[in-house]
């Protein structure tokens, strides 16, 4: 999946506009394709994922960054992020909204952990394309762009927009500001 979505992931990371002083959270980092770029571009990167296995793999893979206090990885869900209010300058999530129990709760939590003026970047393949696959409905919910925009707006985000490298690109990268 990481190789198949490499272009979307790279584009999402670009949209973050990372600075060396940034404290960044990646929600649902999975195989960790974005982590090297995020760690190289930000001052501190924290990853939260539902899977204990991927958290342990990230801890082993990025142990030097953890030891240098430039990274940390935790098991958890977007609906209950284990951080203080205003802990991060930027939040990134790519191909994870399908697994969220509630878009509204997830984006409300992301809004809570962002500093005022913080940026969120959300990458995903829209429902019209995801519905062509055979995904288990008990853990997977395809999302329409309008649904994601509405949830971001309801959670208090401003300047919500879709970015794509070309108009014909199938996937969406949403960018918004707290």
Report whether pLDDT(153) > 90.
yes
Domain segments of the chain: what residues?
6-177
User: What secondary structure letter does DSSP report for 38?
Assistant: H
The per-residue pLDDT for 67 is 98
Of residues 136 and 139, which shows the higher confidence score?
139
Closest CA to 100 of 85, 74, 126, 80: 80
The per-residue pLDDT for 135 is 62
pLDDT band at 1 (very low <50, low <70, confident <90, very high): very low
Tell me the pLDDT of the chain averaged across its residues.
Answer: 91
Exposure string (b/e) for 24-44, b if CB count within 10 Å is 16 or more?
bbbbbbbebbbbebbbebbeb
The per-residue pLDDT for 120 is 98
Closest CA to 78 of 114, 43, 127: 114
Of residues 89 and 127, which shows the higher confidence score?
89
Helix (H, G, I), strand (E, B) or coil at 104: helix
- Partnered with residue 94 across adjacent β-strands are 123
The per-residue pLDDT for 142 is 78
Say which range, 47-61, 100-114, 162-176, has the weakest mean pLDDT: 162-176
Name the CATH superfamily housing domain 6-177: Vaccinia Virus protein VP39 (3.40.50.150)
Whether the pTM exceeds 0.85: the reply is yes
User: What secondary structure letter does DSSP report for 166?
Assistant: S
Could you read off the pLDDT of 55-87 as tens digits, one per residue? 999 999 999 999 999 999 999 999 999 999 999
The per-residue pLDDT for 140 is 67
Using alpha carbons only, how large is the chain's radius of gyration in Å? 15
User: What secondary structure letter does DSSP report for 57?
Assistant: H
Could you read off the pLDDT of 7-63 as tens digits, one per residue? 899 999 999 999 999 999 999 999 999 999 999 999 999 999 999 999 999 999 999
């Amino acid at each position: 999946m990481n190789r198949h979505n490499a272009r979307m992931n790279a584009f999402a990371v670009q949209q973050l506009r990372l600075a060396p002083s940034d404290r960044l959270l990646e929600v649902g980092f999975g195989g960790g394709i974005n982590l090297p770029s995020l760690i190289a571009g930000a001052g501190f990167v924290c990853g939260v994922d539902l899977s204990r296995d991927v958290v342990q793999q990230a801890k082993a893979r990025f142990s030097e960054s953890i030891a240098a206090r430039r990274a940390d990885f935790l098991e958890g869900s977007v609906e209950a992020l284990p951080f203080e209010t205003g802990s991060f300058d930027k939040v990134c999530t790519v191909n994870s909204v399908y697994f969220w129990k509630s878009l509204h709760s997830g984006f409300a939590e992301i809004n809570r952990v962002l500093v005022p003026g913080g940026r969120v970047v959300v990458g995903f393949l829209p429902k019209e394309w995801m519905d062509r696959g055979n995904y288990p409905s008990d853990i997977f919910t395809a999302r329409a762009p309008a649904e994601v925009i509405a949830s971001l707006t309801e959670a208090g985000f401003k300047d919500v927009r879709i970015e794509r490298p070309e108009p014909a690109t199938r996937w969406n990268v949403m960018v918004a500001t707290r």
